[in-house]
Chain A
Amino acid sequence: MSRSFLIRNPSVLWFLLALAVFTLAVTLMADGIGAGLISTSFVKTLGKTLCLCLVALAMDLIWGYAGVLSLGHMAFFALGGYMVGMWLMYARTEEIVVNALSGQALPPTPEEIRAGIGTQIFGVVGGSEIPPVWMFAHSLTAQLLLVLIVPGVLAGAFGWLAFRSRVTGVYLSILTQAMTLALALYLFQNDSGLRGNNGLSGLQNIPGLAAVPQATLSVWFFWASALALALGYLMAANVVSGKFGSVIRGIRDDEARVRFLGYSVESYKLFLFTVTAVIAAIAGALYYPQAGIINPAELAPIASIYLAVWVAIGGRGRLYGAVIGAALVSLLSTWFTGGRAPDVPLGFYTIKWVDWWSVALGLGFVAVTLFAPKGIGGLFDRFQNLRTPDRHGADLGPDKGSLREKEATE
């Protein structure tokens, strides 16, 4: 992480500068701390967007660099959210129960408090017992560790089985999608112990910080998200700029060749799959306290497909591309589906964006794949005059065998 690293990778410096300026600007305009030009809910939206940028970064590492199209990373993201959500909900309910019982003549016993918490949290699924999976929910440290451990172990075990059998390409994508779906269906059940389809709610109330208004809290979480994104970006840039990056790009382009060079392709994939799953979980753990609610619908395979779409639109194989794609598409999506986008009257039919946004996004995705495979990030190449050659089909080099234009532009 020396100075020369930033000089060798100017895009990292530019990215960090842009993120710092953005964070400062939002802070100065925010409702809680600054001039109040940006509402609390919009600060939360921006903070959530930064978390989505972080998970997109993870997706770019595993898909854009290593060529493994995982459709399960939003499941790890949601698992991270669930893990932190359990502590938020438990500790907050504990505060409420203790408060409610404090009026009694006798101080409440721990059993009474536990029973109260159980009824409060699980009454909605017809239970009052606290399930064993909540065993560590009272401890913030334990749940934060679980944010790393649960998705890490799941990704490790799944990846070990899948990569060891050399499942690649579209088969691996289907397998990851099946994992996501299975997890979502499991969590939808009431007896999974995580409140079924109700999910966890009230996560925006941070235990112990009841006196801090949401306006201030939203800025704190915004800062934390920006910091996590900056650290994640630095780490990712450091990883891909070195020999490790060279190996994983090699795996993407010609897996067999990397194997014959003596690199164990399976270990690399497994390592990267697990690390990016943990990054996704950290992003989720920061996202859901800002969203306030998490339920199993967040794990639906469609979420992971959206993630792939963001990265593809932003530009695979470049880190800032993933961030731009996630930020742009998720913010546009919020705007179009929030009902604030003006309808387009066509005379015979009125286009309501709430209904038509998915169609527009799908068309946009197809258009990017067909006409701009480098995505939005490809625009930066144009600024730097890194154009793909245009010689009307002639050879590029001096001799006959040189790379043809067709190959170079592919």
Chain B
Amino acid sequence: MTALLEVSGISVTFDGFRAINNLSFSIGPAELRAVIGPNGAGKTTFMDIVTGKTKPDAGRVLWGEKSQNLLKLNEAQIARAGIGRKFQRPTVFEDQTVAENLMLALRADRSPFSVLGWRPQPKHHRRVEALAGEVGLAEALPRKAGELSHGQKQWLEIGMLLAQEPKLLLVDEPAAGMTLAEREQTTALLVDLAKTRAVVVVEHDMEFVRRLNCKVTVLHEGAVLAEGSLDHVTKNQDVIDVYLGR
């Protein structure tokens, strides 16, 4: 099985601080992966590099069957190539309705000229309704996203990611601020999504990671400390020292 995303030997330094240090990572086309690590381990920087927000000083990031070099693309091009990102803090367009938010994310040509002439057809409305149903916001379609509760915004953002139909989903702390029931729902959704695409979940919460029941990558000081099943990495002495032991 060839990897969907192959990150090899990347390093990045911010003002002398080495945020990522010779990190390598790879994920297959339909795989669920949890990335854990203490604060400052480089989890968010790693996501920034994959999505094009930060350029690394060294290393390679290759994508897809054609091994496309992601470092040459900007954020928008990477998103169009099929990498979706969910931020830690829910970021939806609060001034626009739930329907508009989903319509914006719907997979379609993104160039200004085609968007200018784009008009929603019945199939687009149906798709938006289906997506809203999937994330439990069917009733909220005409409401402004800013009126939603924190948990609902998280769901709306997940709905927008689904609308993008990405091949790889990067999810930053999805369970933050969710109730127990919502967490369980989120876990089920992520596991389900990983059947058809690659999903990388960055998470602090061990319980949540345990429920995902997947391969785990532990980051520490910008490098991979251990990789394997959760039971395997929690037995690793290094991991216990830097992360679990505290």
Contacts and interface: CB of A to CB of B under 8 A. Distances in A.
A246 B100 contact: yes
Interface stretch (A139-147, A171-179, A253-261, A375-383): A253-261
Contacts of A407: 146
Which 7 A-B residue pairs are closest in the complex by CB-CB distance?
A: A401-B150, A262-B79, A262-B80, A259-B75, A264-B76, A271-B112, A402-B149
Contacts of A398: 149
Interface stretch (B17-25, B91-99, B184-192): B91-99
A262 B75 CA distance: 7
Interface stretch (B61-69, B115-123, B201-209, B214-222): B115-123
Interface of B: 51, 53, 74-77, 79-80, 84-85, 87, 91, 93-96, 100, 103-105, 110-113, 115-116, 118-120, 146-151, 160, 164, 177
Contacts of B151: 399, 401
A261 B112 contact: no
Given A260-B76, A264-B110, A397-B148, 5 more contacts: A247-B104, A267-B111, A399-B151, A402-B148, A403-B146
Contacts of B164: 261-262
A408 interface: yes
A242 B151 CA distance: 28
A259 B76 CA distance: 5
Most buried by B among A246, A260, A263, A398: A260
24 contacts: A239-B116, A242-B118, A243-B104, A246-B96, A250-B104, A253-B93, A253-B94, A253-B95, A256-B75, A257-B93, A259-B76, A259-B79, A260-B75, A260-B79, A260-B84, A261-B104, A262-B76, A262-B79, A264-B76, A265-B76, A397-B148, A401-B149, A402-B148, A402-B149
A247 B112 CA distance: 9
A263 B96 CA distance: 17
A158 interface: no
A402 B103 CA distance: 23
A36 to B, nearest CB: 45
B145 to A, nearest CB: 10
Contacts of B148: 397, 402-403
Contacts of A397: 147-149
A365 interface: no
A116 to B, nearest CB: 48
Nearest to B116: A244
Contacts of A244: 112, 115-116, 118
Contacts of B118: 242-244
Q: By CB atoms of chain B within 10 A, which of A243, A249, A254, A407 has the most? A: A243
A267 B112 contact: yes
A254 B96 CA distance: 12
Interface of A is mostly: helix
Nearest to A402: B149
Interface residues of A, number: 31
Contact of A260 (B51, B115, B116, B146): B51
A193 to B, nearest CB: 35
Most buried by A among B110, B112, B119: B112
A11 B226 CA distance: 61
Interface string A380-410: 0000000000000000111101110001100
A268 interface: yes
Nearest to A398: B149
A257 B91 contact: yes
Nearest to A254: B91
B110 A249 contact: no
A240 to B, nearest CB: 11
Contacts of B87: 257
A268 B111 CA distance: 8
Nearest to A264: B76
A246 B146 CA distance: 15
B149 A243 contact: no
Contacts of B115: 242-244, 247, 263
A256 to B, nearest CB: 8
Nearest to B99: A246
Contacts of A265: 76
Given A239-B116, A246-B103, A408-B147, A264 B111 contact: yes
Most A-side CB within 10 Å, residue of B95, B115, B150: B115
A68 B160 CA distance: 25
A118 to B, nearest CB: 44
Between B104, B105, B177, the greatest number of chain A beta carbons within 10 A of the residue's beta carbon is seen for B104
A254 to B, nearest CB: 6
Contact of B103 (A243, A262, A396): A243
Contacts of A260: 51, 75-76, 79, 84-85
A249 B146 CA distance: 14
B178 to A, nearest CB: 9
Contacts of A254: 91, 93
B95 A249 contact: yes
B152 to A, nearest CB: 9
